[in-house]
A and B are shown apart, each in its own frame.
Chain A
Amino acid sequence: MIRILTGLLIAAALFPASLMAQDGPLRIEITEGVIEPLPFAVPGFVPDTPEAADTARQLTQVIAADLTGTGLFREIPSSAYISQITDFAAPVQYADWKAVNAQALITGAVGVSGGKLTVRFRVYDVFSGAELGNGLQFAGGIDGWRRMAHKVADAVYSRITGEGGYFDSRVVFVSESGPKNDRRKRLAIMDYDGANVQYLTDSSSIVLAPRFSPTGDRVLYTSYESGFPRIYVLDVGNVKRRVLQQTDGTMSFAPRFAPDGRTVLFSLEQGGNTDLYALEIASGRQTRLTNAPSIETAPSFSPDGKRIVFESDRSGSPQLYVMRASGGEANRISFGQGRYGTPVWSPRGDLIAFTKQNKGRFHIGVMRVDGSEERLLTASFLDEGPTWAPNGRVIMFTRETQGEGGRASLYSVDITGRNLKPVRTPDGSSDPSWSPLQN
């Protein structure tokens, strides 16, 4: 009898709970979902006056292009709309937007008065039947309508995804023209999407590796103007420049700002050896950070300014290392096959982007700051020089095609490896550096 009772107790204890009488609500766990662009509708912003109609239409197009270009959103064509937005203040007919499967709805109005542009907008979660955040208004000069559109798109992006946008940002890069054996290079700056290209230098000398300051108002770059590579700093506002570091008989290159904007890291070649140095811009004081017979270059600060990732061939082939910002012992973080270079710390601090060469192919990849979870995002004849978007979710880089007619151009890719696409520029382009979000 005891055995029977014991058996029954064990059986009752092991009996699946799901088959027993349910206590409380039905509980299920969802662990699989889908990853697809979120459908949104952005009806043309309503112009307050007839004069604002063109601007309203163009502004709406830029907002839609910004969101669609991320790969995270899909615009529902206006031909599918059941209802139209003719009054910005009118209540939204959610059923009409649900019917066309618009999960997000963006409405807005544009006013132009005395050369001043005003943009108001709202974002709705259609299936919840509620507004995402409150309505917002931007005002500025009529000439800055594109920036205004980017700002609206950033706000929409942030409200839907929960992370910061990157549309109101700029990219400084090297514009390339002419044949491959006589290529002329000059610094250029543009909006993140390739619009508003402006040239910062002429093509009389070779320029390399421009890098934005943390505030986006200055650019570091390397120029062969003196016959030797020298580091210059250029003020983006007035396009004035000056030599930042000059030591006779040396070559300095690969500069990058510290997060505080007051220090610059760079590589200095002296007597056949290349090491990393830190330079205080205000005082000109120079500190040697590495002292090895190998080549140390391509330094990049962590966002908190406490660590530096750089490239070194001290182990026999170019690999990535991390050390304290003050120098000292460095830890190797790349251990995969191939050669690693041009590491760049993510603005979020969680990833390091890099260039990898392996088996005759070039890749742009990311890894954790300890070297784990390496993921290659691209593969081509030549991909190099990654730079991070301000939100740390997108990477821009240089891709060059093969052959005599090979052309360098800019591409961007999501850190998931999806949404690889070219960035349109007037000429060939290379060495991009992404600015922070503009104020």
Chain B
Amino acid sequence: MALIAVAVFGGAFRSEPLPFEVHEVSVISAQDYAALSTPRPPAREEPDPEPASVPAPEPEPDPEPEPAPEPVLPEPVVEPAEPEAEQDPAPVVAPEPPAIRPVERVAPEPVQTPSEEAQPDVVEQPEVVLDQGADEPREQQQATAPEAAVDRIVTEAEQTDALAPLQSPRPPRVRPERPRPVATPPEPETPAPAPDTSEAVNAALTEALGGGDPVSDAPSGPPLTSGEKDGLRVAVSRCWNVGSLSSDALNTTVVVAVSLTQDGKPIADSIRMTSSSGGNDGSARDAFGAARRAIIRCGSSGFDLPAEKYGQWREIEMTFNPERMRIK
């Protein structure tokens, strides 16, 4: 069907060819290419110089030699890496933590006492010639501790964090499901409780809001958004210079009340300290002085506050907490 469709409608979708870049090339035949590549040594006739662990190169039809696989091969140069790691006294910077296993310092098996036959043989032995196929003569070794033994005792507290798994091998497969409400069948005999619910909701909200008369003396109008409050906070912070305050004043938090005009300017006479904590009267006075300067200086041209919410910011209480500004 697809072929038929192409045959029938193929011509209908012809479009202008996209522009492309053209490079001149020369084409040679396979024989010519073989002649050009004759100096290349045959791949399979010669013995492989690589160790047995290296996979034998496959007969590649591609004439271009590609050295890319070499770094991937398991080269026999792996062994020197171990002494290098031992020479490095700083396991923190090593890419891999030292392979210290929490094993006993003393080998679990005692070293065997050399047998009496291990004494030098005084009997002269005729010189023998090893067979060609015989193994290399091995030096006799004493029984040693198993490989698990180490020369250091590493307590659990001394182990590096790198030895710990990055994450639990047994992560929770799924999040625990929330308890689902049990579906209760509709009760046809239940009367409609709408009026009672609204009263209860109102009562709950009223209680949560502090109770009392909903028509309180709270400022009217919509509240300031977090962004508007942050803007005011940043504006005052820019002028709150604590550089010349004493250490005691830097330990004193003052709460300063201020009234603002409708254009956002602080009324200087209204600035007063309502409370302080963390210092004596003198340090509170100095801390208040710095706070008052900050309010007056940065409010001299009016704080950027929404005029329609004047009822909300007409009176402001600013807490100047210098905890982060103390001499560290």
- Within A1-19, the residues touching B (CB, 8 Å) are 1, 3-5, 8-9, 12-13, 15, 18-19
**Does A161 lie within 8 Å of B218, measured CB to CB?**
no
Kindly state the separation between the CA atoms of A259 and B120 in the bound complex, as whole angstroms: 82
The answer to the question of B173 belonging to the interface, with a C-beta cut-off of 8 Å to chain A, is: no
Residues from chain B with a CB closer than 8 A to the CB of A19 are: 223
The answer to the question of B282 belonging to the interface, with a C-beta cut-off of 8 Å to chain A, is: yes
Across the interface, A12 reaches (CB within 8 A) one of B205, B312, B319, namely B205
The answer to the question of A29 belonging to the interface, with a C-beta cut-off of 8 Å to chain B, is: yes
**Does B236 lie within 8 Å of A26, measured CB to CB?**
no
Kindly state the separation between the CA atoms of A15 and B193 in the bound complex, as whole angstroms: 25
Residues from chain B with a CB closer than 8 A to the CB of A27 are: 316-319
**Does A24 lie within 8 Å of B218, measured CB to CB?**
yes
Kindly state the separation between the CA atoms of A5 and B328 in the bound complex, as whole angstroms: 50
**Does B325 lie within 8 Å of A33, measured CB to CB?**
yes
The answer to the question of A73 belonging to the interface, with a C-beta cut-off of 8 Å to chain B, is: yes
**Does B323 lie within 8 Å of A161, measured CB to CB?**
no
Residues from chain A with a CB closer than 8 A to the CB of B292 are: 127-128
The answer to the question of A37 belonging to the interface, with a C-beta cut-off of 8 Å to chain B, is: yes
Instruction: From B245, B316, B327, name the one whose CB has the most chain A CB atoms within 10 angstroms.
Output: B327
**Does A23 lie within 8 Å of B249, measured CB to CB?**
no
Tell me how many residues of B have a C-beta within 8 Å of chain A: 64
**Does B293 lie within 8 Å of A128, measured CB to CB?**
yes
**Does B201 lie within 8 Å of A5, measured CB to CB?**
yes
Kindly state the separation between the CA atoms of A8 and B201 in the bound complex, as whole angstroms: 7
Residues from chain A with a CB closer than 8 A to the CB of B323 are: 31
**Does A416 lie within 8 Å of B321, measured CB to CB?**
no
Residues from chain B with a CB closer than 8 A to the CB of A61 are: none
Across the interface, A28 reaches (CB within 8 A) one of B193, B210, B316, namely B316
**Does A8 lie within 8 Å of B204, measured CB to CB?**
yes
- Within B204-244, the residues touching A (CB, 8 Å) are 204-205, 207-210, 216, 218-219, 223-224, 226, 229, 232-233, 236-244
- Given A28-B316, A128-B268, verify A35-B216 contact (CB < 8 Å): no
* Min CB–CB distance A365 → chain B (angstroms): 13
Task: Produce 1/0 per residue, A22-62, CB < 8 A to B.
Answer: 11111111111111111000000000000000000000000
**Does A38 lie within 8 Å of B204, measured CB to CB?**
no
**Does A31 lie within 8 Å of B324, measured CB to CB?**
yes
Tell me how many residues of A have a C-beta within 8 Å of chain B: 49
Kindly state the separation between the CA atoms of A31 and B326 in the bound complex, as whole angstroms: 11
**Does B243 lie within 8 Å of A162, measured CB to CB?**
no
Instruction: From A27, A30, A32, name the one whose CB has the most chain B CB atoms within 10 angstroms.
Output: A30
* Min CB–CB distance A37 → chain B (angstroms): 6
The answer to the question of A160 belonging to the interface, with a C-beta cut-off of 8 Å to chain B, is: yes
Across the interface, B321 reaches (CB within 8 A) one of A12, A31, A34, A103, namely A31
Kindly state the separation between the CA atoms of A27 and B210 in the bound complex, as whole angstroms: 17
Q: Which residue of B lies closest to A157 (CB)?
A: B244
**Does B316 lie within 8 Å of A30, measured CB to CB?**
no
- Given A5-B200, A38-B244, A162-B248, verify A26-B293 contact (CB < 8 Å): no
Kindly state the separation between the CA atoms of A26 and B233 in the bound complex, as whole angstroms: 12
**Does A29 lie within 8 Å of B268, measured CB to CB?**
no
Task: Produce 1/0 per residue, B282-300, CB < 8 A to A.
Answer: 1101100101111011001
Kindly state the separation between the CA atoms of A67 and B233 in the bound complex, as whole angstroms: 30
Q: Which residue of B lies closest to A73 (CB)?
A: B244
Across the interface, B243 reaches (CB within 8 A) one of A9, A13, A35, A101, namely A35
Residues from chain B with a CB closer than 8 A to the CB of A339 are: none
Across the interface, A127 reaches (CB within 8 A) one of B286, B296, B319, namely B296
The answer to the question of A87 belonging to the interface, with a C-beta cut-off of 8 Å to chain B, is: no
Q: Which residue of B lies closest to A70 (CB)?
A: B244
Kindly state the separation between the CA atoms of A65 and B320 in the bound complex, as whole angstroms: 31
Q: Which residue of B lies closest to A29 (CB)?
A: B319
* Min CB–CB distance A392 → chain B (angstroms): 9
* Min CB–CB distance B194 → chain A (angstroms): 10
Across the interface, B218 reaches (CB within 8 A) one of A3, A23, A34, namely A23
Apart from A28-B233, A35-B242, what 17 extra A-B contacts exist at CB < 8 Å?
Answer: A12-B208, A25-B219, A25-B317, A26-B312, A26-B315, A27-B317, A27-B318, A28-B317, A30-B294, A33-B241, A37-B243, A38-B243, A38-B244, A73-B244, A127-B296, A129-B268, A416-B327
Name 24 interchain pairs, CB-CB below 8 A, sorted by A.
Answer: A3-B181, A18-B229, A21-B223, A23-B218, A24-B315, A25-B314, A25-B317, A26-B229, A26-B316, A27-B319, A29-B233, A29-B321, A30-B291, A30-B318, A31-B321, A31-B323, A33-B241, A34-B240, A36-B243, A72-B243, A127-B292, A128-B296, A162-B246, A373-B328
